[in-house]
Amino acid sequence: MGYFEGVGSMYFKKDPQGRAVFYPWGALGKGYVLSDETMEPRLRRFLKTYIILVVPVFAVAAAFGLGWIIAFTAVSIAWFHLAAKRMLSGCAVSGERLTLRESYSNAARSHNRATLWVLLLVSLFFAVSAFYLAYLRRPSGLSALLILSGLFFGGLSAAYIYMIKVRRDT
């Protein structure tokens, strides 16, 4: 399973009856019991496409400043919401919640250890670099954005550390 499929695994789980449940907002929202077996592969393809498109465009938006990040985030969330709503029409809402632990455990099992270590090292590098540049105030005027970036990549590093631990324990 590739990286993007592994990220997509964070949004799925089986309910006690063995049915696939999709959580479009992860641990923050409700889940939908998928009405047939063709829905899960379609949703996984959609998630993969969404991530592949959004991540690089988000990086480009970040180069233009916080206003562009906010605008792009709003547009991408609206697109995701409308697409997920359309694909899930007719699906029953699940009474089961997805915990953050389940979400990250699903992703951890979908990635190999080497990939998780590389992702951890890259995210640590970005976190340290962002904080260091904010400390130097270089480039000037971007300190807030650099601090937010450092916090984001620091949080991502913590998630990868947890996933590495889960992989080690399984």
pLDDT at 143: 82
pLDDT at 89: 92
Q: Which residues pair with 13 in a beta bridge?
A: 21
Element (DSSP H or E) covering residue 61: helix 39-63
Q: Is 88 in contact with 22 (CB distance < 8 Å)?
A: yes
Residues 6 or more apart in contact with residue 32 via CB below 8 angstroms: 21, 22, 23, 24, 88, 91, 92, 93, 94
- CA pseudo-torsion sign 39, 97, 80, 59: negative
Element (DSSP H or E) covering residue 20: strand 20-22
Q: Is 44 in contact with 83 (CB distance < 8 Å)?
A: no
Q: Is 55 in contact with 111 (CB distance < 8 Å)?
A: no
pTM reported for the whole predicted model? 0.77
Domain range annotation of the chain: 1-97, 112-170
Tokens, residue 22: 């999709």
Tokens, residue 24: 């479009």
Q: What is the pLDDT of residues 97-140, one digit of tens each?
A: 998 888 888 888 888 889 899 999 999 999 999 999 998 877 66
pLDDT at 27: 87
Q: What is the pLDDT of residues 61-78, one digit of tens each?
A: 877 877 888 899 999 999
Mean predicted lDDT score pLDDT of the chain: 89
Whether residue 1 has pLDDT greater than 70: no
Tokens, residue 3: 């990286």
